[in-house]
Structure 1
């Protein structure tokens, strides 16, 4: 069995549109409860809790229990595996676009758009 890498875990967690929306709401708040996330979402409290569980397992949110409430906030380093993966490929694309630009300039040396 192939073991999931951290970037795969983050991507899988954010692949679901509802879960991504929950993450965006958590990230946009200092702290937020399940009840607050449920209000106006059109999603049941149980479903929100399941999405939060997946986000927590992926390292994207952390929880802080206080009495009967649990407060969620975005994990500061949670998106780091995804950012690192994107950085790796941005270098790849930047290098390839630079090469393409050079080839196009060789084809049309009078083109001054670059």
Structure 2
């Protein structure tokens, strides 16, 4: 009985090893697309968030993080940022789709820049 169990366990291990090897080989052929870009020279994380009017997004939060808001249009405000990093879309800027209306810089006070997050607002 014990010998039969060992044979079954060995056979299933071999099948699992083959299936994992096949999965790795096929995954190697798949192109990889980065969703987030990081600048290696400054370690600054950069990405874009798309919100609808009334939606919110929580930015990364950490000890001593500060948030600097930059709006690119003068007839705003189009979004707000709380002291805890909660971004709220206030109104639609009627910019072309895919264009950011502003950005938020995330800084760790006295240490370094953490990220730059571009904000896009749509209907």
Superposition TM-score, scaled by structure 2 size: 0.23
**More strand per residue: 1 or 2?**
2
Radius of gyration: which is bigger?
Answer: 2
Superposition TM-score, scaled by structure 1 size: 0.25
